[in-house]
Amino acid sequence: MAEIRHMLWMRHLRAEATSHVLHYRKGTLLRAGRGLAFWFYPMAAAVAEVPVDDRDLNYLFKGRTLDFQEVNVQGVISYRVVDAQRLAERVDFAIDLKKGTHQKQPLDQIAVLLTGIAQQAGLQVIARAKVADFMVHGFGELAQALSAIFCNNSTLDAMGIAVETVRVDEVKPTADLERALQTPTRESIQQRADEATFMRRALAVEKERAIAENELQTKLELTRRLEALILQEGTNARQKVDQEVEARRLGVVAKVEDERIIARAQAERQTFEAEATAAQRKITAAANAEEQRLLAELEAEQLHMQATAEADRQRQLAAAEAETDRIVGGAAADRTRLEGMAKADTLRAVGEAKAAGEQKRLDAYRELPQMATLALAVQELATQLKIEHLTITPDMFGALLEKVAHLGTHKAA
């Protein structure tokens, strides 16, 4: 904004270095330049001030995609004035010669022009794509389209405006549409998380099975080694007996002794062979039994895990159904109880009102004189009697009065 000072009938103008000032007198341009300072006569002068520094313009517009979805586009346009005189001829930058401010809003006109150009190019790009594809690839296409339309724009060149950069800061759909677009990805992530949980559980079961199999193989290997050890001990014992028999056979012992030794050696050898065979069969049977037991335990453990999982699922379902029945039953019981209490309160209120009315009526009768009570009794009797023809005699009238008095006394009591 230019600074204007007054001195008598003359005025002095001083502009900033970022402002281009144009001084006209009688339609003729006297001086033009940036950051001028000069005296002028206000009655015969017209001054325009054009800012020539770089300016940022925030733009925001809405567009509709190929599948009729609304998208908001927001960004910034950086521009500057390259020919201030040409722009002053197209847009009114005249300033008030008293205050130094613009008489109109020229920068708003430029903002409307630039926003309209950006919106025209942006709407063409948005209308050619569907919303899902546009949210993925439309950001770059939109930025390229805006840069292209501002790069070689004859309107801006004719006005002396140059656009430096065009940024697209945000491309955003409506809130409901954004949630709808996020739902498939969110559900996919949740599904992968569930699959990972199931895989972890399955891997744990598989590892437990592998551990059980390793334990079984270890026990079988120990059993086989024990069997080989027993066989080796039997072989060693047989070799020892054979050696003793051979030594005694070669000695100077009598033939009978030799035969006895040989017989005893054969008997011992047969005994050792029988014991070794029995031990081998026993070890084999024990190994087979242990293997069957471990396999049975493994199958039982797997069945137990499956049964436990199924029981947990059934228990959770039963608990959910029981909780639902309890809530429904409780609501029905509360409603029935409230209805009963409301009816009881209503009946009690009506009864109390009737009793109070009857008590007040009796209190009123109690305070009335005897003649008034008799009159009311006669009135009550008259409402209860239906008489078509009446003949009154003195005797009858006396009896009737006596009856009326008796009835009134009884009613008052």
Instruction: Tell which residue, 231, 242, 311, 305, has the closest CA to residue 275.
Output: 231
- pLDDT level of residue 273 (50, 70, 90 thresholds): confident
Q: In Å, how far from its chain's centre is CA 222?
A: 57
Average pLDDT over residues 320-341: 77
Mean pLDDT of the chain: 81
Average pLDDT over residues 365-392: 63
**Helix crossing, 255-367 with 394-412: angle to 10°?**
140
Residue 66 has pLDDT above 80, yes or no: yes
Element (H, E) at 78: strand 70-81
Distance CA 261, CA 241 (A): 10
Strand partners, 20: 34, 50
Distance CA 155, CA 358 (A): 100
Would you identify the CATH topology of the domain 3-173? Tetrahydropterin Synthase; Chain A (3.30.479)
Average pLDDT over residues 235-262: 76
Give residues with Cβ within 8 angstroms of 60, minimum separation 6.
Answer: 72, 73, 74
For 319, the token pair is 């608990």
280, 227 in Cβ contact below 8 A? yes
The DSSP secondary-structure symbol of 94 reads B
For 114, the token pair is 């630039």
Strand partners, 11: 6, 40
The more confident residue out of 181 and 250 is: 250
The more confident residue out of 164 and 308 is: 164
Give residues with Cβ within 8 angstroms of 75, minimum separation 6.
Answer: 58, 59, 118, 146, 166, 167, 168, 169, 170
The strand ranges marked E within 133-274 are 161-173
For 178, the token pair is 């954004």
Position 78 scores a pLDDT of: 94
Average pLDDT over residues 162-183: 82
Distance CA 153, CA 165 (A): 14
Give this prediction's pTM: 0.45
For 35, the token pair is 């950051």
For 350, the token pair is 């009506």
**Where is average pLDDT lowest: 241-250, 348-357, 368-377?**
368-377
